[in-house]
């Protein structure tokens, strides 16, 4: 198992410090949040993009994915959504990231309409993503938080460059058993996003193993070289403990859970 953490846990932190934390605490990769308030955003110049890649390459840390905020099932015209998605794919190519994360964002639409919109847009983006060597991953989130819902969209696209991110919190909140989530996502899975919380009513982030999520069951059956990314949502919970002081404990717990079973 290869470990990464999300910069959502260290909002606004300079990339040199992010890389230092990853390399110093035994994480092989980082999921970079792409947002104007972060060091990585769609407005980076070519020179700035090259500099980002060099910072990670020099430390031997991989950029696992760019976590964007494109909502592929959102109501409205396709044009702005596809344009933003193309920009995100180009940024991933420039930084050497294999994946970009997108959200469903279907809101309260009829299920069939939201599915069709998401599949149409992802299908339209797939050839360009393939040309640039990037895969677009739909996260189990919001309107499609259940694995079966996200997998339904991805399967409808039927393109090898369109896959899924398994956010284990959202499938748990949807009432799915981990084995069922994994079964439907396995053919499409890019990586697994783990987190822990006290309960479905208290989503304040905790170090893995300190909360209620069935993380052992979520990681059971993953391929030995699977990527697992710890998303500690400090950005949305400023009162939570700082991520840097938890990185060792989180790493150790996840590695124990991911160790081969005898």
The bridge status of strand 29-33 relative to strand 62-71 is: parallel
Residue 152 has what DSSP assignment?
H
Q: Work out the number of other CB atoms within 10 angstroms of the CB of residue 247.
A: 23
Band the pLDDT of 193: cuts 50, 70, 90.
very high
Return the pLDDT at 157.
98
pTM above threshold 0.85: yes
For the segment 26-51, the average pLDDT, to the nearest whole number, is 97
Q: How many residues in total does the chain contain?
A: 262
CB neighbour class for 154 (10 Å; exposed up to 12, middle 13-18, buried from 19) = buried
Q: Is 31 helix (H, G, I), strand (E, B) or coil?
A: strand
Q: Tell me the percentage of the chain whose pLDDT exceeds 90.
A: 97
For the segment 139-155, the average pLDDT, to the nearest whole number, is 98
Angle, alpha carbons 244-58-164 (nearest 5°): 65
Show Cβ contacts of residue 182 under 8 Å, excluding neighbours closer than 6 positions: 147, 166, 189, 218, 221, 222
Q: How many domains does the chain have?
A: 1
Whether 257 has a pLDDT exceeding 80, the answer reads: yes
Q: Let me know: does 213 contact 195? Beta carbons within 8 Å.
A: yes
Averaged pLDDT of the chain: 97
In degrees and rounded to multiples of 5, residue 2 shows phi and psi of: -110, 135
Identify the helix (H) or strand (E) that includes residue 32. strand 29-33
CA R_g for the chain:
17
Return the pLDDT at 261.
63
Whether 124 has a pLDDT exceeding 60, the answer reads: yes
Which residues constitute the domain of residue 210? 2-258
Tokens representing residue 39 in the block:
């060091």
Return the pLDDT at 4.
98
Q: Tell me the percentage of the chain whose pLDDT exceeds 70.
A: 99
- Only one residue has tokens 């050497």, namely 96
The domain that holds 20 is classified in CATH as 3.20.20.150
Tokens representing residue 7 in the block:
């910069």
In degrees and rounded to multiples of 5, residue 152 shows phi and psi of: -60, -45
Identify the helix (H) or strand (E) that includes residue 205. strand 205-206
Q: Is 217 left (phi over 0), alpha (psi -120 to 50) or beta?
A: alpha
Whether 259 has a pLDDT exceeding 80, the answer reads: no
Q: Let me know: does 168 contact 43? Beta carbons within 8 Å.
A: no
């Amino acid at each position: 198992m290869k470990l990464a953490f999300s910069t959502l846990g260290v909002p606004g932190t300079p990339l040199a410090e992010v890389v230092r934390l990853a390399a110093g605490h035994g994480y092989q990769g980082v999921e970079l949040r792409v947002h104007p308030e972060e060091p990585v955003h769609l407005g980076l110049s070519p020179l700035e993009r090259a500099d980002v890649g060099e910072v990670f390459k020099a430390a031997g840390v991989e950029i696992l994915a760019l976590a964007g905020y494109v909502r592929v099932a959102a109501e409205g015209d396709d044009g702005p959504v596809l344009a933003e998605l193309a920009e995100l794919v180009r940024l991933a190519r420039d930084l050497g990231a294999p994946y970009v994360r997108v959200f469903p964002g279907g809101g309260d639409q009829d299920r069939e309409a939201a599915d069709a919109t998401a599949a149409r847009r992802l299908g339209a983006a797939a050839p360009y993503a393939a040309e640039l060597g990037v895969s677009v991953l739909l996260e189990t989130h919001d309107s499609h938080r259940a694995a079966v819902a996200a997998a339904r969209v991805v399967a409808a696209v039927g393109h090898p460059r369109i896959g899924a991110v398994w956010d284990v919190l959202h499938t748990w909140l949807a009432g799915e058993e981990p084995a069922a989530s994994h079964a439907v996502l396995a053919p499409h899975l890019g990586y697994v996003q783990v987190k822990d919380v006290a309960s479905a009513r208290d989503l304040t982030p905790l170090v893995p193993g300190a909360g209620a999520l069935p993380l052992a069951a979520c990681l059971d059956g993953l391929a030995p070289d699977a990527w697992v990314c710890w998303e500690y949502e400090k950005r949305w919970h400023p009162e939570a403990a700082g991520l840097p002081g938890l990185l060792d404990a989180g790493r150790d717990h996840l590695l124990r859970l991911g160790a081969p079973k005898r």
